Structure 1
Amino acid sequence: MATVTIKMLAGKLNLSTATISKALADSHEISPATKQKVLQLAQELNYVPNAYAGSLRRHKSKTIAVVIPEVADSFFSLALNGIEEVALAHGYHTLIYLTHEKLEREKAILKELANGRVDGLLMSVTVETGTFDHIREFNKQLPVVFFDRVCPEIETAQITTNDFECGYLAAEHLIQAGCRKIVLLSVSNNLSITSERAKGFQKAVLEHQLNGVFCRVVDCNEDAAQNYEIIKAMMSQPDRPDGIIATVEKLTIQIYLACRDQNINIPRDVKVICFSNQPSALIFDPGLSTINQPAFEMGRAAARALLKALKNSSLLLADESVEIPSTLIARGSTKM
């Protein structure tokens, strides 16, 4: 469905675009009868004001929105710190919205924000986000910058890390530590980050000619109790894995608990590495080997790209995309 514009309203009512604009702004120059006609048609056609274009003609809100799945994950809390640092330095406020990994919540937030409350949006999509029409519609009105969980289908700035290489690096690390039956635990097939990590993992498996029956991707979900049962059942098999890669840090506790409850020793019986920035990795027993993502730097880069676009409306945001590499930190959980 085409976006309803002031020009379309003007054409249907045989009025000038200036009259339509003033009527929508409740100008005293327009008669009550004309205002009523304009507002009624705008409501019928679900007209949403183009706040992005309008900001060129009025004072900006000096506020940006950040839409993320959660704050419990250490990655997002660090990224928010980076975003806030840049925003505050440029005189901007941030509004933080949590989707709780729900697509419908994500859609509702974007619809609410389209009314011009903010000047632009930084976002990381949910695990359920498999279609992007709601983001495309929003992006027609306001600039959007993605970080971490991105939408390659939308032409804008994408701030990412080297997920493919890190999936490969994590698998290679376990292989060098002697693992031959490695599983990668994933939480979503929709997310670009998990699919890239899985591709990197699979490349390492192929290069080392490991058995694809034992080296596989295992699907988990957002329910901690269910994930515990999935991991426990997996580790109860005679051909259980000797290496585990967790693509998100929320799976770490379930891995350690499932192994503890079955007297499976980490790292003697199974070695574990996780994509995580959590400080508690140091105090896990044994210490957790991690792929540390540059969350703070990614947050700063995303904020800089958005604020650059707000300053220059002709900027091609896609040109501001950047990939910031992650690092592997080996600790006790992958010790030989």
Structure 2
Amino acid sequence: MTGGNKNDKVNMKTLAKELNLSTATISKALRDSYDISPETKLRVMEAARRLNYVPNAYASSLRKQSSNTIAIIIPEIADSFFSQAINGIESIVAPKKYHALIYLSHDSYEREASMFNDLASGRVDGLIMSVASSTQDTGHIKTLQETGIPIVFFDRVCEDITADKIVTDDYNSAYNAATHLLQAGCKNISLVTISGYPSILTAREQGYRNALTENGFVVKDAEIVTCSNKYTEENVNMIKAHLTTVKPDGIIATVEQLATATYLACDELKLQIPRDVKVICFTNQITAAILNPSLTTILQPAYDMGKQAAETLFGRLSGRLNEAKQELIMPSQLIARASTAS
């Protein structure tokens, strides 16, 4: 394309194709954004003049206006991790006189994707999110990002998207959990996890596998139980069947609701924790200390992760944070209790 035709509608996509740039880069360059180089801004402005690009006045006015609202997308609210993370986010949002819209994906890709049309309408200035376990196609997230709305991921992130990410050390946490069980005398350790694609599941399974392999154990597929990410009687039955056939003497549960299912399965089989099987779980559940027996947990810094995610988002919104997108890893803590006692 060498010149504009008055009958052609020249928009940001046209400029992006002409210059081999993303629409997000074009949008930011036209808005004189701090994170676009002067050279790129000059190329964009010259192309805009050459092709007779005329901004959409209505859309521009919407972008210039702040809604003083951010969106938070989480898989569920019942999980104590997410409720604590929201408290951390609110600790930053409220003093800034912003509002937070909380969306629940219920761990559904379809439900998550349907929310993004609403977000792209100018209703929110930024987004903090933890992706659904069934999310593989991230096109809906990339499309929103191209509008210039900043996105910060926390806990469950999208590896194929360049964005700010606040995570915990899932690999090391699972490695330490398996090592803890080995030191407690376990020789047949199983991983009870959920189906889906979140980054946390991959990291936790790899940490579990490597800890056992490095200590001379061969991890068999039969030692990994994959449940649904909902509390159901089916999960309890799956764990009961596993306890009966594989007979593990140690279990690592990768998400909070699987601890309940494991305790119920052991109770129904008359297995005593920790005598017959030792149990450790990734959970921020405040009742862990008063369960019978008290539950050994991997405690994630949920509140601090939420707080940091909000601070990062507002740093992007204000322009104060203008360096490349960053990944911040916050350490978790193993809290040993009676469920893994020797």
TM-score bin (small chain): 0.7 to 0.9
- Identity, in percent, stands at 43
| Secondary structure at 1:114 match in 2 | helix
Kindly indicate whether residue 269 of structure 2 is the aligned counterpart of residue 234 of structure 1.
no
Partner of 2:18: none
1:203 maps to 210
For 2:242, give the aligned amino acid: M
State TM-score, norm by structure 1: 0.84
Distance 2:10 2:134 in 1: 31
Aligned equivalent of 1:225, options 216, 223, 233: 233
**Unmatched runs of 5 consecutive residues or more in structure 2:** 1-8, 16-50
Q: Is the 8 A contact 1:205 1:215 kept in 2?
A: no
The one of 237, 240, 255 aligned to 1:248: 255
Secondary structure in 1 matching 2:331: coil
Question: Residues 51-200 of structure 1 correspond to what in structure 2 (within 5 A)?
Answer: 55=63, 58-141=64-147, 142-200=149-207
Deviation string 1:152-187 (CA, Å, 9 cap, x unpaired) is 211110100000000100000000000011111111
TM-score norm. by structure 2 comes to 0.82
Say if 2:301 is the partner of 1:283: no
Q: 1:214–1:241: 8 Å Cα contact kept in structure 2? A: no
- Alpha-carbon offset, residue 59 of structure 1: 2.8
Is the 2:142–2:161 Cα contact (8 Å) retained in structure 1?
Answer: yes
Q: Which runs of 5+ in 1 are unaligned?
A: 26-48
Question: Whole-Å Cα distance in 2 between the matches of residues 245 and 299 of structure 1?
Answer: 25
Task: Please report the RMSD computed on the Cα atoms of aligned residues, expressed in angstroms.
Answer: 2.3
Whether 2:295 is the aligned partner of 1:295: answer: no
Distance across 1 between alignment mates of 2:258 and 2:239? 9
Contact 1:298 1:324 in 2 (8 A): yes
> Contact 1:181/1:211 (CA < 8 Å) preserved in 2?
no
Distance in 1, Cα, partners of 2:220 & 2:163? 39
Find the residue that maps to 1:248 and give its secondary structure: coil
Q: Structure 2: how far apart are the matches of 1:120 and 1:114?
A: 10
Q: Is the 8 A contact 1:309 1:317 kept in 2?
A: no
Are the equivalent residues in 1 in contact too, given 2:255–2:283 (CA < 8 A)? yes
Q: 1:213 aligns with which of 220, 224, 235?
A: 220
2-side partners of 1:322 and 1:82: how far apart?
Answer: 16
Say which is worse superposed, 181-190 or 121-130, in terms of deviation.
181-190
Deviation at 1:89, TM superposition (A): 1.9
**Residues 10 and 53 in structure 2, CA contact (< 8 A), matched pair in contact too:** no
Q: Size of the alignment, in residue pairs?
A: 299
The alpha carbon displacement at 1:216 in A equals 3.0
Give the whole-Å Cα distance in 2 for the aligned partners of 1:59 and 1:74: 35
SS at match of 1:185: strand
Amino acid at match of 1:267: P
Contact 2:105 2:112 in 1 (8 A): yes
CA pair 306-85 structure 1, distance change in 2 beyond 3 A: same
